[in-house]
């Protein structure tokens, strides 16, 4: 049996839950269904997760970090879309306390990790999980 639709804002419990809550709330603000109940949780899209990084409070990482700039979020969103268009099976994104975003794209045993720095530069590397190399 499914519970009633979730209609309120989530509150910060810890770093991980805060990010999860912000992604759902960002999706709701854009007209998405948001979360219905714990039994009906659906995956957060990487794009919604990246959008939620704009709302991160100052000091979210042990007193450091803050909202991620629009420029960095736009570049990360474009890279995420490109990875999916290129056929990667899945993507994820992670904020950095220095204002950067890591976008990871996965295909078979490969992972491409792309860091978008606050100044717009991009660092990347390829991780082969089968051969334990980077």
Q: What pLDDT is attached to residue 14?
A: 43
The per-residue pLDDT for range 7-60, each reduced to its tens digit, is: 444 343 444 455 555 555 665 665 555 444 444 444 568 999 999 999 999 998
Distance of CA 28 to the CA centre of its chain: 16
What whole-number distance in Å separates Cα of residue 30 and Cα of residue 63? 30
What was the pLDDT predicted at 4? 39
Backbone angles phi, psi at 23, to 5 degrees: -65, -45
Gap between the Cα atoms of 42 and 53, Å rounded:
19
78, HSE (Cβ side, Cα atoms, 13 Å): 9
Mean pLDDT of the residues in the chain: 76
How far is residue 24 from each of residues 18, 71, 106, measured CA to CA in Å? 10, 22, 23
The pLDDT assigned to 109 comes to 86
Residue 28 lies in a domain: yes
Confidence grade of residue 92 (pLDDT, cut at 50, 70, 90): very high
Percent of the chain with pLDDT over 70: 63
- pTM greater than 0.85: no
**From CA 84, how far away is CA 89, in angstroms rounded?**
7
Residue 133 lies in a domain: no
pLDDT (average), residues 113-130: 90
The total of structural domains in the chain comes to 1
Higher pLDDT, 43 or 105: 105
Look up the domain containing 87 and give its range.
15-128
Question: Contact, 2 vs 36, CB < 8 A?
Answer: yes
Q: Between the CA of residue 120 and those of 31, 51, 83, 112, 116, what are the distances in Å? A: 30, 17, 18, 18, 6
Instruction: Kindly write down the DSSP assignment for every residue of 35-78, as one continuous string.
Output: ---GGG--PPPHHHHHHHGGGPPTTTBTTB--PPPHHHHHHHHH
What pLDDT is attached to residue 129?
Answer: 74
Report pLDDT for 23. 59
């Amino acid at each position: 049996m499914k519970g009633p639709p979730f209609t309120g804002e989530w509150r910060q419990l810890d770093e991980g839950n805060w990010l999860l809550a912000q992604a759902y709330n960002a999706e709701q603000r854009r007209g998405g269904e948001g979360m219905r109940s714990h039994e009906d949780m659906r995956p957060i899209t990487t794009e919604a997760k990246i959008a939620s990084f704009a709302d991160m409070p100052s000091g979210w990482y042990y007193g450091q970090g803050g909202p991620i700039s629009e420029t960095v979020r736009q570049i990360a969103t474009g890279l995420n879309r490109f990875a999916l268009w290129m056929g990667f099976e899945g993507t994820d994104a992670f904020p950095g306390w220095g204002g950067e975003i890591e976008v990871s794209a996965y295909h078979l045993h490969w992972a491409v990790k792309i860091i978008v720095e606050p100044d717009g530069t991009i660092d990347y590397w390829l991780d082969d999980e089968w051969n334990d190399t980077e």
